[in-house]
Amino acid sequence: MAEVKLENVHKRFGGAEVIHGIDLTIRNGEFVVLVGPSGCGKSTLLRMIAGLEDISDGTISIGGRVVNDLEPRERDIAMVFQSYALYPHMNVERNMSFSMTLRKERPEKIRQAVEGAAASLELRPYLERLPKALSGGQRQRVAMGRAIVRRPKVFLFDEPLSNLDAQLRVQMRTEVRKLHQRLEGTSVYVTHDQVEAMTMADRIVVLDKGRIAQSGTPLELYDRPANRFVAEFIGSPAINLFPCDVKGGRVFLASGNGAVDIGPTTTAEERIELGVRPEHLKPVESGGLPGTVQVIENLGAETYVILNAAGRDVCWRIAGRPQVSVGDRMQLGFDPAHMHFFSTASGARL
Amino acid sequence: MLVLRGPARWLAYLVLATGIVIIIGPFLWVALQSFKYEIAILQGSWIFTPTWFNYSDVLYSHRSDFPTNVWNSVVVASLSTFFVLIAGTLAAYSLSRLRWNRWIARTFLGWTLIFNMIPPLTLIGPWYLIFREVGLYETLTGLVLAHITLHLPMTIWMMMAYFNEIPKEIEEAARVDGCDRLDAFWRISLPLVTPGLIAAGVLAFVFSWNEFAVALNLTSRATATVPVAIARFAQQYEVQYGQMAAASIVSTIPALILMFFGQRFVVQGLTMGAVK
């Protein structure tokens, strides 16, 4: 277990800068998820922590020791790759024991470590098999077993579940989290899936074009996004965004039936954006945003109703099964306690 | 897979049979001559009494150098294959895995490609002069060096295809697990390209074994290899057809054995990267 500290970390490929001075401290035993869209630099950052990419500028420390110039093997880390990266010519047992064999540990100690990890991951019947004879989920568990046997200070996960089918992914999500709690290691987990981030992280770091857009607990990010990018990225279905005008200290949302008065504001900007999570919309009799029901998505426990309102698709999420049909006209009201305002120019929260 | 029916099927069989006859026919004809006495060969007889005379004359006669020639070929083909595999594998790994400047890598690979297209005969003149200067002319060492040079480009390209097929994450996982780069190469990458080593090794050995032009010009009677020896059965005043045929058949044995065991890898190696 160790603290991972990144100070003003930059990464340049030729002339192109992909990481722009990241400062981040991952505390002992913390499970931090780096999340962001493709190309935001999250995997590059993880690979820099692992030592698989050089650092153009800045400092990375693991357990108080600067590791900038250390080889991956000297950093006391374990990494689970998206493609599993198992050694195809070694059976499961040899895959899992490889790091200990390299360290020339006693055979008895190696056997105990491998059997312990195999038992916890339900891999005992497969120890003699080659990776090609395993299913995707089993391969993933072997990759995790390999990391466990290494007994590192820091676990690094690079989108480890993205090659699994949806059902297995949910199951493995829980497994990874349980593993983290049991081993009490420090974990850095990269994903582009915000559901994975929300469900697994102690803390989420949202990256946007090589910069930290926001860092905080999953609920902090959900309830109080620091900017439009985070608001859009975190939450499924995505937040509803409406362009609004500010007149005389009040916010107005243009709709088919004239402007809807949203409420007071102190901003000096003339045009801002209103963000409302789908579950924070509610049907009202009058004075709301008028819309027509386009699509109804029943998920059993909850329902997504997609309406056309103010010239855009708006998602209303409701528990249970609402009595609405496609083509119904209705008005949606906003809960003042759950409205987010963003600058149209900078995207920052107002 | 394309399934042919009716006349198309018979036509396909006919084309296939013609191909086989064209390829195997000459070999069978030579094999037939190797079991005839000289007189039967010169008469062109199809009905004859088979004899092992040509084989025993080539292999056991006191006046025959052929066993020495076979040994020379074994030495040259084995050593050149060994060194070509070492140099070619390391070069291919370097080009595939290390972050070379793109221009350096392209220039190197482009040059190997061009070198592979140059007729070997154009290189014999310079080699003759160089080897005479350094005392390697008419030595097996000189011929081994020449064969390494000739077969290195093919080996580099083949091995590169194999290294490119290995996901780089596997090596990265090994580096995280505790390997340095050399360890990762030795313990992970090299075992994974074993089929490539077999394929490239078989081809380099067979090409070296069969190489004639360079060997003819850079060797003496004592250091001649099998193809040169076979050619020397045709002298100015006498052509020893029977011995020539027997020596030709004997010379194909190592290549046949290697291709029999390595064929699967050779086909895989030559088509590597052609389809995903």
Q: What is the pLDDT of residue B1?
A: 67
Pairwise CA distance, residues A64 & A2, whole Å: 8
A145-154 residue pLDDT tens: 999 998 899 9
pLDDT higher than 50, residue B275 = no
Residue of B nearest to A90 (CA): B188
Residue of B nearest to A82 (CA): B169
Query: Quick one: average pLDDT of A129-153?
Result: 91
**B178 closest CB neighbour out of A83, A89, A103:** A103
The alpha carbon of B131 is separated from its chain's Cα centroid by a whole number of angstroms, namely 23
B191 CB neighbours in chain A (<8 A) are: 89
Helix (H, G, I), strand (E, B) or coil at B234: strand
pLDDT higher than 90, residue A253 = no
State the smallest CA–CA distance between residue B273 and chain A in angstroms: 19
A72 CB neighbours in chain B (<8 A) are: 172, 175-176
A268-289 residue pLDDT tens: 888 999 999 999 999 998 888 8
| CB pair distance less than 8 Å for A52 and B176 | yes
B188-236 residue pLDDT tens: 999 999 999 999 999 999 999 999 999 999 999 999 999 999 998 888 7
Query: Quick one: average pLDDT of A329-336?
Result: 89
Lowest-pLDDT choice from A100-114, B126-140, B260-274:
B260-274
Residue of B nearest to A154 (CA): B176
| CB pair distance less than 8 Å for A87 and B176 | no
| CB pair distance less than 8 Å for A52 and B172 | yes
Interface of A with B in 109-138 (CB under 8 A): none
Contact A297, A279 (CB under 8 A): no
Question: Tell me, what amino acid is at B4?
Answer: L
A74 burial class (0-12, 13-18, 19+ CB within 10 angstroms)? middle
Contact A303, A320 (CB under 8 A): yes
| CB pair distance less than 8 Å for B188 and A87 | yes
Residue of A nearest to B168 (CA): A85
| CA distance to A93, A98, A134, B212, per residue, from A111 (Å) | 9, 11, 21, 56
| CB pair distance less than 8 Å for A73 and B188 | no
Place of tokens 């120890």: A127
Partners of A292 in the beta sheet? A308, A329
- Flag whether residue A71 sits within 8 Å of chain B, measured between CB atoms: yes
| CB pair distance less than 8 Å for B175 and A78 | no
- The ipTM of this complex is 0.86
Interface size A-B, in CB pairs within 8 Å, comes to 58
Look up the pTM and report it.
0.84
| CB pair distance less than 8 Å for B179 and A83 | no
Q: What is the pLDDT of residue A49?
A: 96
| CB pair distance less than 8 Å for B174 and A83 | no
In CATH terms, the superfamily for domain B61-275 is MetI-like (1.10.3720.10)
Most confident of A232-241, B35-44, B255-264: A232-241
A86 CB neighbours in chain B (<8 A) are: 170, 173
**B178 closest CB neighbour out of A50, A83, A99:** A99
State the smallest CA–CA distance between residue A146 and chain B in angstroms: 9
Residue of A nearest to B170 (CA): A85
Q: What is the pLDDT of residue B269?
A: 64
State the smallest CA–CA distance between residue A297 and chain B in angstroms: 39
Q: What is the pLDDT of residue B260?
A: 86
State the smallest CA–CA distance between residue B166 and chain A in angstroms: 10
| CB pair distance less than 8 Å for B173 and A103 | no
DSSP for residue B275? -
| CB pair distance less than 8 Å for A71 and B172 | no
Q: What is the pLDDT of residue A209?
A: 94
A285-321 residue pLDDT tens: 888 889 999 999 999 999 999 999 888 899 999 998 8
Task: Give me the DSSP letters along B39-61.
Answer: HHHHHT-SS----SHHHHHHHH-
Q: How confident is the model at residue B276 (pLDDT cuts 50, 70, 90)?
A: very low
Average of per-residue pLDDT values in chain A: 92
Q: How confident is the model at residue B272 (pLDDT cuts 50, 70, 90)?
A: low
A239-250 residue pLDDT tens: 999 999 998 888
pLDDT higher than 90, residue A261 = no
* H, E, C per residue of chain A: CCCEEEEEEEEEECCEEEEEEEEEEECCCCEEEEECCCCCCHHHHHHHHHCCCCCCEEEEEECCEECCCCCHHHCCEEEECCCCCCCCCCCHHHHHHHHHHHCCCCHHHHHHHHHHHHHHCCCHHHCCCCHHHCCHHHHHHHHHHHHHHHCCCEEEEECCCCCCCHHHHHHHHHHHHHHHHHHCCEEEEEECCHHHHHHHCCEEEEEECCEEEEEECHHHHHHCCCEHHHHHHCCCCCCEEEEEEEECCEEEEEECCEEEEEEECCCCCCEEEEEECHHHEEEECCCCEEEEEEEEEECCCEEEEEEEECCEEEEEEEECCCCCCCCCEEEEEECHHHEEEEECCCCEEC
A203-226 residue pLDDT tens: 999 999 999 999 999 999 999 999
A87 CB neighbours in chain B (<8 A) are: 170, 173-174, 188
pLDDT higher than 80, residue A258 = no
Residue of A nearest to B193 (CA): A89
Pairwise CA distance, residues B272 & B276, whole Å: 9
Neighbours of B110 (CB within 10 A): 10
Query: Quick one: average pLDDT of B168-183?
Result: 94
Query: Quick one: average pLDDT of B42-52?
Result: 86
pLDDT higher than 70, residue B273 = no
Interface of A with B in 3-32 (CB under 8 A): none
Lowest-pLDDT choice from A119-128, B1-10, B202-211, B237-246:
B1-10
Question: Tell me, what amino acid is at A185?
Answer: G
